[in-house]
Chain A
Amino acid sequence: MAVTSTTSTLAVTSPSITGAAKLAEYARSKARRRRTERVIESVLLLAACVSVFTTIGIVYILVRESASFFAHVPLWTFLTDTQWTPLFDDAHFGILVLLAGTVSSSAVALSIAIPLGTIIAIYLSEFAGHKTREIMKPLLEMLSGVPTIIYGYFALLFVTPMLQKLYPELPGFNVLSAGIVMGVMIIPYVSSLSEDAMRAVPMSLREGSYAMGATRFQTAVKVVVPAALSGIAAAYILGISRAVGETMILAVAAGMQPNLTLNPLEPAATITSYIVQVALGDLPHGSIGYQTIFAAGLTLMLLTLFFNLIGYWMRRKYREAY
């Protein structure tokens, strides 16, 4: 099957060549083949390096534009100012305002995704039968497959009116409904990674626990979860970085007014929805308004990097080896 093109040409030409000439021909074809192999390898290497170039590109662009931003606005003002009005005449650049929106929306989302995701993971890994698991897993993963813009639509036009029935003073744009929908969207990220971690716990640990007379629930909570802690922590961290980076649900349903509050019943802008708001307008390239979105993006990137590092550290620290 694997007859090479170089050897087949050799087979055609070889009858007329003998002795030293034949050996030379062999050597040449071998060298040719090695050359092709090396070219192919470098092409493949280049393709693999695209990811590195992407990272370099992201860091370069964010740092370059942010540098010109911070030439206008001192870093200290950026971190401590309590107003965010970059497009007004009286411009203020206090990232805390956007950060507050990001924190409150993520807090709402995670207070839904983490408990529910963990319970689902324990249930699917320790309680459910094979059949239930095979049906429920793809069904839950569909939750993360729905485009986020559609969740935005759903939060604004279904969840908010529903919440307004319970609590009539709720404004049409609010962080709460966006956060709730975001939380449900994040459930599969948390549950599926946690479940993988729990399933990787060796059977012998469970059997030992059952042999001591423990129930399923006791085994799950006291043996399996502690043993899978590093993986579960990684799942939580993934959930957090999803929540922090989520954009469209918040842009659609939470309103885009900068608002320094942690109260989810109010409208607020987040780092991500601010970027969308600016991009929708028509800001000239190179203006200070244009540069703010890169400063905001840099903040976001550092935030997710921070969580990724924590996740990495947790995986190392709490890893149990079997």
Chain B
Amino acid sequence: MDRKSELRAIIRAHKRWDALFGMFGLLAMMVGVLTLAALFANMAIDGIPRLTGDFFTSFPSRRAGQAGILSAWIGSVLVMFVTAIVAVPLGIAGAIYLEEYARKNWFTDVIEINITNLAGVPSIVYGLLALGLFVYTFGFGQSILSAGLTLALLILPIVIVTTREALRSIPQHIREGAYACGASQWQVVKHHLLPYGLPGILTGVIIGLARAIGETAPIITIGALTFIAFLPPVPFTGEPPAGMLDWVFSPFTVMPIQIFNWTSRPDPAFHQNAAAASFVLVFMTLGMNGLAIWLRYRLRKNIKW
């Protein structure tokens, strides 16, 4: 009798630990979720009153009430354009090589270890690379081109890793079937692997760009200006051929830098601008991430090997 109740007590104590830990787990997750909620609420309360049409069509100004994000969002879009043009083909091509062509040798190992390591390099170090290499050695200056290339290098590991995962998930028999029909390796890649891997690749590209659009540190390091009250030339309208690319050498600012600039001013009126711009930026990044998750979910459901 005594031993029985003792045993019961032990079991109860252990079960209590279970319940207690379950509570801890929920609590820990609440910390994250509540932080996110506070962040959004804070941004929305301070920022939404500033989100008028004028905010998107005005240049930054010394008067907080008239300042807007025109040059910032246009700069962000143009930099993203350069980043995408560079990172997408390079990333996909690199991934195809590593996944489909590369032989198992030391050189392939070097490339793979390299990519893993690059993914862990702090983003500001990319900024230093760009400052030394693009800005001064290549003489691109503090331009949209320098920023776009920097961010392209930064997201390259992301694009490569996700593209490789997408290619790896395509079953081997698809490749074998194509080879059996006499296709060359490139034909297998072009006609089968790229189309079937597209959802996964697209997801990776979008996640990479969402990361790039919020990056601040490397762009500050190459010396983007914080006060830009003009727009770069409209792309592809200048005198061909040289004038077509005027815009890539133009000075610029981007959304995160505009936010940084407004946040670091002491006047609270500018903090509202920062909140409003943050709201727009978060909307952009989370929107892109959401799109990627949706794409992955949606397109994966349709594939049945």
Contacts and interface: CB of A to CB of B under 8 A. Distances in A.
A50 B156 contact: yes
B170 interface: no
Given A40-B186, A116-B31, A279-B223, A238 B120 contact: yes
Contact of A275 (B22, B91, B221, B259): B221
B181 interface: yes
B236 interface: no
Contacts of A119: 21, 24-25, 28
Interface residues of A, number: 86
A184 interface: yes
Interface string B93-112: 11011100110000000110
A143 to B, nearest CB: 5
A146 B132 contact: no
A276 B278 contact: no
A153 B275 contact: yes
Contacts of B263: 149, 152-153, 156-157, 252
Main secondary structure of the interface of A (DSSP, over half): helix
Contacts of B32: 116, 120, 139-140, 143, 184, 187-188
23 contacts: A4-B182, A44-B93, A47-B97, A50-B90, A52-B110, A52-B114, A55-B117, A58-B129, A62-B128, A136-B29, A139-B36, A140-B33, A142-B36, A147-B282, A149-B281, A181-B35, A247-B123, A248-B217, A275-B221, A279-B131, A279-B222, A301-B122, A304-B120
Interface of B: 14-15, 17-18, 21-22, 24-26, 28-29, 31-33, 35-36, 38-39, 42-43, 89-91, 93-94, 96-98, 101-102, 110-111, 114-115, 117-118, 120-129, 131-133, 136, 153, 156-157, 160, 178, 181-188, 191-192, 210, 213-217, 220-223, 226, 256, 259-260, 263-264, 271, 274-275, 278, 281-282, 285-286, 289, 293
Interface of A: 1-2, 4, 7, 33, 36-37, 40-41, 43-45, 47-52, 54-55, 57-58, 61-62, 64-65, 115-116, 119-120, 122-124, 127-128, 136, 138-140, 142-143, 145-154, 156-158, 181, 184, 187-188, 215-218, 220, 238, 241, 244-248, 251-252, 272, 275-276, 279-280, 285, 293-294, 297, 300-301, 304-305, 308
Given A147-B281, A184-B32, 18 more contacts: A2-B191, A4-B184, A44-B96, A48-B111, A52-B114, A54-B153, A62-B125, A116-B31, A120-B29, A123-B26, A140-B33, A149-B259, A150-B278, A157-B271, A184-B35, A241-B120, A275-B128, A301-B122
